[in-house]
Amino acid sequence: MRPADLLGRTSVRLALAFALLLIAAFAAAGAVAWGLIRQDLEAQADRRILQTWRTIATEAVDGPEELAAAVEEQLAAVADLSTVILLTDSSGATLAGNLQAFQGTAGWSNRSAMDLGLPEGSSFRLYAGPVSEGFLVVGSTDADLHEIGAIVLGALG
């Protein structure tokens, strides 16, 4: 029997349709799962960034020297540029941190490494806000999300 004759059979066509339906369902389930995983990881990263910002900001009541010391203490805990922190005074001069400058407003933002004056790399999720008489920016790279995305895509084939 020739392969062309096989496609003429109802049972073969039904089997192919069922196989395509299974593949589509698997792909859709993977896309939904990745969307949920990514959303949860982003929310978790935001909580971690905000917690770091609040931890440093609590030192503001003790004065700018203690605030700068808290920034340096947080930076000592990370060995690379996966976490960025900048503390400026009311005039915009840098008091402490591993960023050169930040041009932005209070609240959440996403910036590329180049926008932050860092070597090329991933983008950063940042939270910025006023503390005492200055401005505090805390951020984290989203490289982990890209790595997990590659793993999920690899698992889906």
Tokens of 138: 């805390």
**What is the pLDDT at residue 64?**
81
- How many Cβ atoms from other residues are within 10 Å of residue 36's Cβ? 10
62-67-73 Cα angle (round to 5): 125
Domain that holds residue 62: 36-147
What average pLDDT does the structure give for the chain?
A: 86
**What is the pLDDT at residue 157?**
60
**What is the pLDDT at residue 149?**
75
Please check whether residue 136 lies inside any domain of the structure.
yes
Please check whether residue 112 lies inside any domain of the structure.
yes
94-116-41 Cα angle (round to 5): 115
Please check whether residue 22 lies inside any domain of the structure.
no
Number of domains composing the chain? 1
pLDDT higher than threshold 70 for residue 156: no
Please check whether residue 25 lies inside any domain of the structure.
no
Q: What is the CATH number of the domain that holds 119?
A: 3.30.450.20
Please check whether residue 16 lies inside any domain of the structure.
no
Please check whether residue 18 lies inside any domain of the structure.
no
